[in-house]
């Protein structure tokens, strides 16, 4: 079998080959999107791991109902991304969103547009952090912290994982 009639796309070479890359790195939109991606990556990773560490330390000190808290903290990871998007869309809606309704109950007169340029990065980071904190929480909970005089059961906090 032979493939023919591909047109001129296979015959023309982009000269010079780096011209598209030069345009790419001088474009203001690309620069802005790379900056926003870097900010979102750094903030969400440090936020997720930091919050998960705090939650894991708090659950370590709970004697009763620790399994309930573990389940509650892990639950957002099993929620689909579509459901998560709908949930946070309802929270951040301009006129009927939950946050604007709460703010108006406390006396704020003008509504906040949470999807404006000022708040867009925050409203994108919050759902991502909320969804994956439980994942890091479980990982941190399964780390066998070693302290002198503690048994394996005490070190793992009853977690079935062992490293």
Counting every residue written for the chain, the total comes to 163
For the packed helices 81-92 and 120-141, what is the interaxial angle rounded to 10 degrees? 130
| Domain 36-145+152-156, second-level architecture | Orthogonal Bundle (1.10)
Radius of gyration of the chain (CA): 24
What pLDDT is recorded for position 162?
44
Q: What is the pLDDT of residues 46-96, one digit of tens each?
A: 999 999 999 888 887 777 887 888 888 888 888 888 888 888 888 888 778
The whole-model pTM stands at 0.65
pLDDT surpasses 70 at 118: yes
């Amino acid at each position: 079998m032979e493939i023919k009639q591909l047109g001129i796309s296979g015959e023309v070479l982009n000269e010079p080959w780096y011209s598209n890359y030069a345009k790419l790195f001088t474009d203001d939109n690309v620069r802005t999107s790379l900056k926003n991606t870097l900010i979102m990556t750094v903030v969400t990773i440090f936020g997720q791991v930091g919050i998960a560490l705090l939650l894991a330390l708090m659950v370590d000190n709970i004697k009763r109902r620790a399994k309930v808290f573990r389940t509650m903290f892990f639950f957002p990871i099993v929620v689909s991304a579509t459901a998560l998007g709908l949930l946070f869309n309802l929270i951040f809606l301009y006129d009927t969103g939950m946050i604007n309704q709460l703010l108006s109950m406390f006396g704020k007169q003008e509504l906040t547009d949470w999807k404006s340029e000022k708040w867009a990065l925050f409203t994108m980071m919050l759902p991502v952090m909320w969804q994956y904190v439980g994942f890091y929480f479980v990982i941190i909970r399964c780390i066998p912290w070693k302290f002198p005089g503690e048994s394996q059961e005490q070190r793992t906090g009853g977690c079935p994982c062992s490293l």
